[in-house]
């Protein structure tokens, strides 16, 4: 999957079923919007007002499960084929040598690391200038936070939401 994919392109894949959808993704995903240069962006306010295509997705009991915009960019959390350094670590940052590239001035060249394992994902800040935040809690450099589907992550001014393939598939099949 290319890093320029959008939620709309993923939504079209849901008809193929969960197994094919997950295979196509190849890993967990971060969904979000790279803010325009010069503007501060907040997940709670900017995402809701940045596009008329933002939709609330609720679970069976009516609780809010996610806010999704079909125009958001999809970043797959997996090693780039060109980056074989640290096999179980996904590098996140502004530099094109990272596995997940967030092209924004508030993001450090190497901003954070995500450790991959069968059991969980662990995010740690790599000593970034503008910080890494998980669900509102700022990480100290080198401190790890275990991630779960639905977590809100912030790298500098770039806010993203993390989803496992099965949770994202479930949400997109209910997205209207």
Q: Which residue has the higher pLDDT, 99 or 43?
A: 99
C-beta separation of 25 from 76 below 8 A: yes
156 band by pLDDT with thresholds 50, 70 and 90: very high
Q: Indicate the pTM of the whole model.
A: 0.81
β-pair partners for 89? 115
Q: Check pLDDT > 70 for residue 163.
A: yes
Instruction: Match 């320029």 to its residue by tokens.
Output: 4
Q: What is the DSSP letter of 173?
A: H
| Helices (runs of H) and strands (runs of E) counted in the chain | 4, 13
CA 33 to CA 158: how far, in whole Å?
A: 7
């Amino acid at each position: 999957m290319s890093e320029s994919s959008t939620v709309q392109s993923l939504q079209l894949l849901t008809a193929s079923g969960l197994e094919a959808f997950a295979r196509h993704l190849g890993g967990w995903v971060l969904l979000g919007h790279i803010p325009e240069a010069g503007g501060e962006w907040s997940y709670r306010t900017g995402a809701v007002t940045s596009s008329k295509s933002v939709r609330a997705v609720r679970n069976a009991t009516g609780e809010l499960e996610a806010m999704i915009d079909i125009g958001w960019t999809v970043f797959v959390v997996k090693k780039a084929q060109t980056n074989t350094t640290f096999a179980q670590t996904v590098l996140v940052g502004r530099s094109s040598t990272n596995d997940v590239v967030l092209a924004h001035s508030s993001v450090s060249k190497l901003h954070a690391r995500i450790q991959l394992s069968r059991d969980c994902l662990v995010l740690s800040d790599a000593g970034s200038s503008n910080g890494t935040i998980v669900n509102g809690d700022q990480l100290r450099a080198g401190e790890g936070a275990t991630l779960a589907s639905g977590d809100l992550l912030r790298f500098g001014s770039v806010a993203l939401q993390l989803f496992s393939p099965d949770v994202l598939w479930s949400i997109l099949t209910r997205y209207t």
